[in-house]
Amino acid sequence: MQNKLWKDLTNRLAQEPFERIYWGWGPQWVSFIKIDSPITVDKPLWAHEETNLDNIRLFDLTPDQLQREIIRYWQQPFWKRWFLSLLTSINRKIKLWSYYHRCLAVRTACIENIYRIDKLTDSLFEQYLGEEVVERLYRTTLKLTKYLEKHAGDFKFEENGVDFYLRGNRRFFKKLMNKKLASLDIENKANLQKRLEKEFDRHKMMLFSYLADWEKKIFDEPIYFDKPIPFDTCIDPRTGKKMTYSTQSIEEWVKLKRQIFGSMLQEEAPEEFLNIKAFLESTLSTIKQLFNQQLERYEKLIFKVRCDRLAAEKAIQQANILQKYFIIFKKIVFLFHPDKSFGNENLRAIQTELFKEYSCLAKDSIEKIQQGLQTLEECLITQKNKLAFQEMKNGFNSRIVELKKIIHDLNDRIEVVRYKIRTNYKETELEVDEEIEQIEIEIEEMRYNYSEFLKPRSPLKLTFKPSMNYLEQDEPKEEVYETYEAKSDYLNKKTYARYTPVF
């Protein structure tokens, strides 16, 4: 489950390709996007595989080709841009190119997931400020998007829109939060304020990571080492025409310089060596200018990689294009090497002096390029480690989400069990109460039925009445007991012997 603000923004972004290009009529934007797998609302552009995104075509052009066309448009004067916007489809191309990079920014934000896009809005934040703040952030984000995409590809445009947008939303949030807190009569307002500010900062940085990445993509000048750059203008001795040579025609330029040098050696003029020296110094100066220009672009390339604004793998591919410029050092070296002086001591002295400078230039240039390649390789390893760490972190976060879901399901089941227990307890209690009432009713009925027996009675008075016969009897006579008299004196005089047992 996603954050409400992020879900609203991505849903809006997923529906844009299916809108009409002319305010409700005309073809849909998706008809100008060619990709291997179809784009739908349920599967928007950023949800496709990277291999499909590499083969995408916008207006039948690659994103880089379309960017070059947009850059050329912004380099034109205002009046020419005005006519081009009326007579060509350049505005629609800018909008579609900007949409493509917005989708890439969403893809990056979903992969990195630094600010927990999948985390729901805090309950207290949603209760007190959620609806108003989320609506404000959503509305201002759409407004900023429309403003920036009109200037996409214009490198002279000031890139401070995102910062200004964040400051404005921060002021709105502070004002609204203070108003809400003042109307509440609760304890621990300070803790509530910290919690609200923390949740707002999470929303703010979640949007900032997406918008800042998109802003860099549409306002950052690309570096193309294969782009032709004019560096010298010479007159062809065969045709007498003025020729301009660029970085894509270095071999032709080297051949021309060799022809000019050979023709100068055949001349036997007094100022011959002065002309040769001036020619060689001019050639060396042109080579210096060319390589300094390329090395500056090379340093910019490394800087972008270090700032995580360009993938190191793509940077290495572009940097390898520099190697083709080494052909200058290889093919033009004979112009400065003393062994090619044809035994002329004056020419040898000139070449020896310039060859030292030429060797230092070649050595320094090669060392800088090798150091840059080593730096790019280190950045590539770092980015791969970051990517692996981010994948591990995303896996860990996904497992946490699954665990929280399991805990949530268990809590739901516990609540169901508790509800059933409470319901059964209430039902049992009700049944017991009904039985008690029934017993009480039966007891009352028994009391009513046996009330006659249970009434209290007065104690019985018992009197003794003797019979008349008893009264008529004579008085009792004394009993006379007869005394015993012995019959003979023997019994009286009889003695008893001691008892002796006889065996």
Residue where one domain finishes, among candidates 199, 219, 239:
219
Q: Is a pLDDT exceeding 70 seen at residue 485?
A: no
Residue 468 is assigned to a structural domain of this protein: no
Kindly report the pTM of this predicted structure. 0.54
Alpha helices of 150-188 — where are they, by DSSP H? 161-182
Where in 363-502 does DSSP place strands (E)? none
Task: Report the distance separating Cα 209 and Cα 114, nearest Å.
Answer: 9
CB atoms inside a 10 Å sphere around CB 449:
10
State the average pLDDT over residues 129-156: 82
pLDDT at 495 over 60: no
Are residues 200 and 238 both part of a single domain? no
Which pLDDT band, with edges at 50, 70 and 90, does 481 fall under?
A: very low
Is residue 179 in a domain? yes
Residue 368 shares a structural domain with residue 345: yes
- Residue 176's pLDDT is 80
Q: Do 378 and 236 share a structural domain?
A: yes
Last residue of a domain, one of 384, 415, 432: 384
Same domain, 213 and 246: no
- pLDDT tens-digit profile of 373-412? 777 777 777 766 666 656 666 665 666 666 667 766 766 7
Q: Is 443 within the bounds of a domain?
A: no
pLDDT band at 1 (very low <50, low <70, confident <90, very high): very low
From 355, 384, 413, give the residue that closes a domain.
Answer: 384
Which of 92-106, 133-147, 325-339 shows the highest mean pLDDT?
92-106
Give yes or no for a contact between 192 and 129, defined as CB atoms under 8 angstroms apart.
Answer: no
Domain match, 288 and 157 both: no
496 vs 75, more confident:
75
Q: Is residue 503 part of a domain?
A: no
- On whether residue 318 sits in a domain, the answer given is yes
Cα dihedral across residues 161, 162, 164, 165: positive or negative:
positive
Residue 27 per-residue DSSP state: E
Please tell me the distance from the alpha carbon of residue 218 to that of residue 215, in angstroms, as a whole number. Answer: 5
In the prediction, which pLDDT does 197 show?
80
Contact 57, 34 (CB under 8 A): yes
pLDDT-wise least confident of 61-70, 84-93, 148-157 = 148-157
Residues 178, 31 share a domain: yes
- Are residues 215 and 236 both part of a single domain? no
- 3-state secondary structure at position 332: coil
Q: Identify whether residues 121 and 240 lie together within a single domain.
A: no
The average pLDDT across 14-33 equals 84
Domain co-membership, 180 together with 240:
no
Establish if 312 belongs to a structural domain: yes
Do 146 and 254 lie in a common domain?
no
Domain count, the chain: 2
> Does residue 409 belong to any structural domain of this protein?
no
Please give the pLDDT value at position 280: 79
User: What pLDDT, on the 0 to 100 scale, is given for residue 470?
Assistant: 46
Domain that holds residue 42: 4-219
Contact criterion met (CB below 8 Å) for 21 and 34: no
> 132 and 280, same structural domain?
no
Are residues 197 and 298 part of one domain? no
Task: Kindly state whether residue 152 falls inside one of the protein's structural domains.
Answer: yes
Q: Which residues contact 265 (CB under 8 A, 6 or more apart)?
A: 276, 342
